[in-house]
């Protein structure tokens, strides 16, 4: 059974590569190829969702729901210090694939994903002074709940001979339908409920305003990181390894 699955995967990769290099294909043929590619990506994403609880050891993908983040956030900024650790995210397996576009001839794909609700928890400790006037101190448990999250993403690749790939474009946007924030002991226990209520109502607006600015700085770094990892992967080597198993 496994041998048959591996052979099917290898054949699929070969066929996709063959068609994507076929510049003589007609417009109708390209549409058919892209439609097949869309269905293929849909199946891959659905398989990913079904394996979120266990992960995929063969691809070194850890369990994604719940997702435990091993690295701590420990930053010293101009306004003070903030530390976040024991980060855990739950609810990613509720994602729904709402829309997908695929252009195999140009190695481009775009998706729209909706997540009904997911929760991020952590331990935090902060000591900040905003505008040299407003002290913000706190420590304890951190809970952030996101509701009706819509993620739109697009990626474009290029390849000279289909032995290696390079990311040339990434874009993404996030919309939040609602949120609930709970910083335990933020400022002081008496003010914490009011502060958290204000933050909960403001988070979608903050995301809309801040994320585009962050994307402008983050996207080039993300492309560089992905391309660094892609240099370690050759399609021919992957197929050889699959055939040997």
For 109-125, write each residue's pLDDT tens digit: 888 999 999 899 999 99
Predicted pLDDT at 27: 58
Q: Are 209 and 178 in contact (CB under 8 A)?
A: no
Q: Are 214 and 206 in contact (CB under 8 A)?
A: no
Query: Which are the contacts of 21, defined by CB distance < 8 A and separation ≥ 6?
Result: 162
Q: How far apart are CA 139 and CA 163, in angstroms?
A: 50
Q: How far apart are CA 132 and CA 134, in angstroms?
A: 6
Q: Are 121 and 88 in contact (CB under 8 A)?
A: yes
| Higher pLDDT among residues 183 and 93, named by residue | 183
pLDDT at residue 134 tops 90: no
Q: How far apart are CA 88 and CA 132, in angstroms?
A: 32
Number of structural domains in the chain: 1
CATH of the domain at 61: 3.15.10.30
Identify the bridge partners of residue 166 per DSSP, sorted by sequence position: 158
Predicted pLDDT at 90: 92
Alpha helices (H) in the chain, listed in sequence order: 2-20, 27-50, 192-230, 235-244
Angle between helices 2-20 and 27-50 (to 10 degrees): 140
Q: pLDDT tens for residues 176-222?
A: 888 899 999 999 888 899 999 988 888 877 777 767 766 777 788 88
Sign of the alpha-carbon dihedral angle for 122, 186, 184, 91: negative
3-7, 8-12, 83-87, 223-227, range with greatest mean pLDDT: 83-87
| C-alpha separations of 70 from 54, 62, 67, 84 in Å | 17, 11, 10, 11
Range of the domain at 78: 2-244
Predicted pLDDT at 234: 65
Query: Which are the contacts of 47, defined by CB distance < 8 A and separation ≥ 6?
Result: none
pLDDT at residue 142 tops 90: yes
> What is the rounded average pLDDT for all residues in the chain?
77
pLDDT at residue 241 tops 80: no
């Amino acid at each position: 059974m496994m041998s048959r699955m591996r052979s099917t995967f290898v054949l699929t990769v070969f066929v996709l590569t063959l068609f994507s290099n076929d510049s003589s294909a007609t417009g109708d043929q390209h549409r058919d190829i892209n439609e097949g590619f869309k269905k293929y990506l849909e199946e891959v994403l659905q398989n990913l969702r079904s394996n979120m609880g266990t992960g995929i050891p063969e691809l070194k993908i850890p369990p994604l729901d719940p997702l435990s983040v091993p690295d701590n956030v420990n930053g010293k900024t101009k306004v003070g210090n903030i530390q976040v650790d024991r980060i855990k995210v739950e609810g990613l397996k509720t994602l729904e694939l709402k829309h997908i576009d695929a252009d195999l001839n140009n190695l481009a794909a775009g998706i729209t994903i909706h997540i009904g609700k997911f929760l991020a928890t952590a331990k935090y400790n902060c000591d900040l002074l905003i505008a040299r006037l407003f002290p913000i101190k706190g420590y304890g448990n951190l809970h952030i709940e996101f509701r009706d999250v819509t993620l739109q993403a697009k990626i474009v690749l290029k390849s000279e001979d289909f032995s290696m790939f390079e990311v040339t474009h990434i874009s993404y946007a996030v919309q939040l339908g609602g949120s609930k924030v709970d910083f335990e002991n933020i400022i002081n226990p008496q003010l914490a409920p009011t502060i958290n209520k204000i933050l909960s109502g403001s988070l979608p607006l903050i995301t809309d305003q801040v994320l585009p600015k962050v994307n402008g700085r983050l996207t080039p770094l993300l492309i560089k990181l992905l391309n660094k990892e892609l240099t370690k992967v050759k399609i021919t080597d992957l197929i050889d390894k699959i055939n040997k198993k």
